[in-house]
Amino acid sequence: MKKSENIHIGHCTTPHGIKGEFSFVLYNQDDSVLHNEAIVSLLPRSTSSSVPQDGKEFKIKKISFGNKTIVTLDGVNDRNIVEAMVPFDIYFDRENFPETDEDEYYLNDLLGLEVFDFITKKSIGRVMDFYENGVQVVLKIKTEKEILEILFIEQYVPIVDIENGRMEVNVPVMIE
């Protein structure tokens, strides 16, 4: 499976203050790879964002971590510009991340994997997205009929094989 060049590391939906600062929501703030002078790619989350549909790169002028991650981008120095830009997703070039060990991978590497039922070994769909619910990662799997949301924990996802582009899941049984 070809790894994407950019990793989705967070999003921004709100400005911070009046001087053109952003309040970034980073998916892994504790081990953030972002720093002053880093280049990030922004992609709009909706058509209301002034960020071009094919994205735009910005240099981080200043970043500070705390209860919130507050960021100033080069060329953006006014709250009105910030308000026009939000909401957007934040991507960072994969080459700026540390190399993973042989048995490790980034969550982004799961996108597009073919998903098989652990019991029957039949294909059920593909990983289309993921999100964090505050406790763990939830995978969104597109099947022919629906989108399944499965907790990304070993009980539900016992096998992940990035090299062969597949994973096996224990599909939860829905009781009505």
* pLDDT tens digits along 95-104: 888 888 877 8
* Lowest-confidence pick of 26-30, 39-43, 164-168: 26-30
Other C-beta atoms lying within 10 Å of the C-beta of residue 47: 6
Q: Is 63 exposed, middle or buried (0-12, 13-18, 19+ CB in 10 A)?
A: buried
* pLDDT tens digits along 52-80: 999 999 999 999 998 889 999 999 999 99
**Lateral strand order in the sheet of 147-151:** 147-151, 137-142, 123-132, 114-117, 166-169, 159-161
Is the whole model's pTM more than 0.75, yes or no?
A: no
What domain count does the chain have? Answer: 2
- At 147, phi and psi to the nearest 5? -110, 120
**Domain edge (last residue) among 43, 68, 96:** 96
Residue 4 has pLDDT above 70, yes or no: no
Q: Which structural domain range is residue 25 located in?
A: 6-96
Q: Are residues 92 and 111 in the same domain?
A: no
